[in-house]
Structure formats: structure tokens, C-alpha cells
Structure 1
């Protein structure tokens, strides 16, 4: 096996290479004057692992090119971040199911796909090949442990993320809850943990993705008012669009971290170990 990656997944691909002990093949990227993407990789083997986060349209095209470049190999595609996956159903007549369109396109020429903490596991059914979801909740739990917080309270931003938060909390046997909105009046809304009082607690809000961070910033301000001793935020996919990082820090969140599924300056957690474990487990079946 050899590993290749697209431009926005180079660091994670190198880490997976180290975990698996398999070569990382150099890949060169260029753009033609008309804007078309160009990719050229080194010599491949009978089996190729392609690591590519689809963080934008260019990376979608690079992924398709990488799949074709490895045409003579058996290919496993690792998509740490799958763009377009949040439009996973028909919301209005005439719209595409974007997750389906992208999953179908990526399925051509590969034998298997792996994604990391996809927002809706139902999207996996759109792939035309076996596709599995990998969780890095334990890795995020490890990071929380490294913070050396005193009896942290792990919070999901809503009930839908409660299972993910429970996976994080299980690492240290910490308390776990999810935030709940209560409408007090036509204009006033209270956001607070459903069952556990945040007063005096060191709180860590965890989620699969932080995009604009607006709701999270509002929740942090309210948790401060409820007496939380400190607030931290950790997610898998740190999109952090539209000034989200500064918005969250200005709201009183002491630290904002994400993983290398979406590589940026906040990527203090790695998905490499979880991905390498899934690859090894598949090889032993």
C-alpha cells in the first residue's frame, strides 16, 4: 500500500503514513491558465490509500483526479471531511440532494470509502461502494484530559450531538449533558444544560463541526451568566467560517480546538490514529 493526498489533507496523510508504516507518495498540484486543476503523483503500488478532505470545490475535483491517477490500483478513499454532506435530503423542489451527488461521484473507481464523524450517517447509503463512518470522540476525550480541568462537564450543543458528547466523556468518566433551548417569551430564549447545573463547573462543549459559531457563542455567554467557571470548545471539523474563531473567543471561550480533518491553525487533535486503526482492522478481516 502507498498513500497519496490532495492539497488540503497533506498533514493528516503524513500522520496516517507514520501510523501505518507505509510510504507517502509525493503528489504535485498545479492549475492551468483557464483554472483547470492538474495533479501528478509518483509511482504507486497495487493498493492505494487516497486521503482527501472535500473542503471546497477544488478539493472535490482534486479527489476525482487522484482517484483516476491511481487507476491501476485497488483504492480506498478516506474523506476526513465530506463537503456538501449537510444537504442530505430534498429541502425544496428543484434542488439537488448534494450529499448524494457528491457521494455518487466519489464512488466511481474505488473499492471502499471511509469518512470521519459525518453529520448524518444516512449519507453513507449514497455511496455506491461500502462506506463506513469513523468517530474520533476518543481522541477529543484525550485532548480534554490533557487540559487537566477539574471535574469537567462535557456538553453537546443539542440532543442530536449527545451521543458524540457521551463518547468524549467516556474517556475520563466525566459528567455529560446537552444544551437545551427554553423560550421564555417571544424574544427571550434561555440556553442551559438539560439536567446538570453548569454553575462552578469547567465546561467543554463538543460537536462534530463548528461552522460560523453563532449559536455556540450565544450558549457560551449564557453559561457564563449561569456561573460556569470556564468554557472550552472542541470539534472534529473546524470550518470556523465568517470570523467564527474570534467570535467564540470574544464570547468568553478559553480555547477553541479542532482536528486535522479540516486542516487549519486550530487543528490540535488528529484523526490519524482512528483512521489507521480502521484501515488495519479492514486488512485483517
Structure 2
């Protein structure tokens, strides 16, 4: 097996290669004058692992080109961050189910696929090949453990994320709850943990993705008013659109970290070990 990657997943691909003990193949990327992309891979094997977070449209096209470049080998696709996966339903006639369109396109030329903490696992059914979801909740729990917080309270931003938060909290046997929004009046809303008081607690809000960070920033301000000793945030996919990282820090969140599924300066947690383990386990079945 050899590993190739798109431009925005180079670091994670190198880490996965190191974990699996397999070669990382150099790929050169350039553009034609009309803007079309060109790439050329080094020598491939009879089995290729393609690591690509489709964080934008260019990375989606690069992924398609990599799959085609490796057309003489058995290909496994790892899409740690799968773009368009949240567009998973049709609300009005004439809309595409974008998640389905992307999954179908990425299935051509691949034997199997893996994603990391996809927002809705139901999207996996749209792949034309066996597709599995990998969770890095234990890795996020490990990172929180390294912060040496005193009796941290792990909070999901809503009830839908409680399963993920529970997986994180299980690492240290920490308390876990989810935030609940209560409308006090027409223009006043209170956000607080459903059952556990945040007063005096070191709080860590965990989620699969942080995009705009608006709700999280509001929740952080309210948790501070409720007496939380400190507030931290950790997520799998740190998208941070529209100045989200700054918004969160300005709201008093002491640290904001993400994983390398979406590579950026806050990627202090790696999905490499979980991906390598999933690849090995799948090969043994």
C-alpha cells in the first residue's frame, strides 16, 4: 500500500503513513493557464490509500483526479472531512441532495471509503461502495486529559451531539451534559446545561464541527455569567468561517482546538491513529 493526498490533507496523510508504516507518494500540483488543475503522482502500488478532506471545490476535483491517476490499483478513499455532507436532504423541488451527488462521484474508482465524525451517518448510504464512519472522540478526550483540568464538565452544544460528548467524557470518566436553550421571553433566551450546574466548573464544549461559532459564543458568555471557572472548546472539524475563531476567543473561551481533518493552526488533535486503526481492522475482516 502507498498513500497519496490532496494539497489540504498533506499533514494528516503523512501522519497516517507513519502510523501504518507505508510509503507516502509525492504528488505535484499545478494549474493550466485557464485555471484547470493538473497533478502527477509518483510511483504507485497495487493498493493506494487516498487521503483527502474535501474542504472546498478544488479539493473535491483534486480527489477525483487522484482516484483516476490511481486507476491501476485497488483504491481506498479516506475523506476525513466530507464537504457537502450537511446538504443531505431536499427541502423544495429542484434542489439537489448534494451529499448524495458527492458520495456517488467519489465512489467511482474506489473500493471502500472512510469518513471521520460525519454530521449525519445516513449520508454513508449514498456511497456506491462500503463506507464507514470513524470517531475520534477518544483522541479529543485524550487531549482534554492533557490539559489537566480539575474535574472538567464535558458539554455537548445540543441534545443531538450528546453521543459524541459522551464518548469524549468516557476517556476520563468525566461528567457530561448538553446545553439546553430556554426562551424566557420574546427576545430573551437562556442557554445552560440541562441537569448539571456549571458554577465553579471547568467546562469543555465539544462538537463534531465548529463553523460560524455563533451559538457557541453566546453559550460561552452565558456559562461565564452562570459562574463557570473556565471554558474551553474542542471539535473534530475546525471550519471557522466568518471570523469564528476570533469570535470564540473574544467570548471568553480560553482555548479552541480542532483536529487535522480540516488542517489549520488550531489542529492540535490528530485523526491519524483512529484512521490507521480503522484501515488495519477493515483489512483483517
TM-score (norm 1): 1.00
DSSP 3-state at the match of 1:87: coil
1:33 aligns with 2:28: no
**Shift in Å, 1:112:** 0.1
**Shift in Å, 1:91:** 1.6
Work out the CA distance in 2 between the residues paired with 1:169 and 1:119: 19
Q: State the match for 1:105 in structure 2.
A: 105
**Number of residue pairs matched?**
285
**Shift in Å, 1:93:** 1.6
Q: State the match for 2:263 in structure 1.
A: 263
Q: State the match for 1:19 in structure 2.
A: 19
Deviations 1:165-222 (A, max 9, x none): 0000000000000000000001000000000000000000000000010000000000
DSSP 3-state at the match of 2:182: strand
Work out the CA distance in 1 between the residues paired with 2:92 and 2:149: 45
DSSP 3-state at the match of 2:89: coil
1:50 aligns with 2:40: no
What are structure 2's unaligned runs of at least 5 residues?
none
DSSP 3-state at the match of 1:119: coil
Displaced runs of 4 or more, over 2 A: none
Structure 1 vs Structure 2 CA RMSD: 0.4
1:161 aligns with 2:161: yes
- 1:173-192 equivalences in 2 (<5 Å): 173-192=173-192
Q: State the match for 2:127 in structure 1.
A: 127
1:245 aligns with 2:245: yes
**Shift in Å, 1:280:** 0.6
DSSP 3-state at the match of 2:28: strand
Work out the CA distance in 2 between the residues paired with 1:190 and 1:93: 36
**Shift in Å, 1:29:** 0.5
Deviations 1:6-65 (A, max 9, x none): 000000000000000000000110111111011110000000000000000000000000
1:138 aligns with 2:129: no
Work out the CA distance in 1 between the residues paired with 2:69 and 2:179: 46
TM-score (norm 2): 1.00
What are structure 1's unaligned runs of at least 5 residues?
none
DSSP 3-state at the match of 1:222: helix
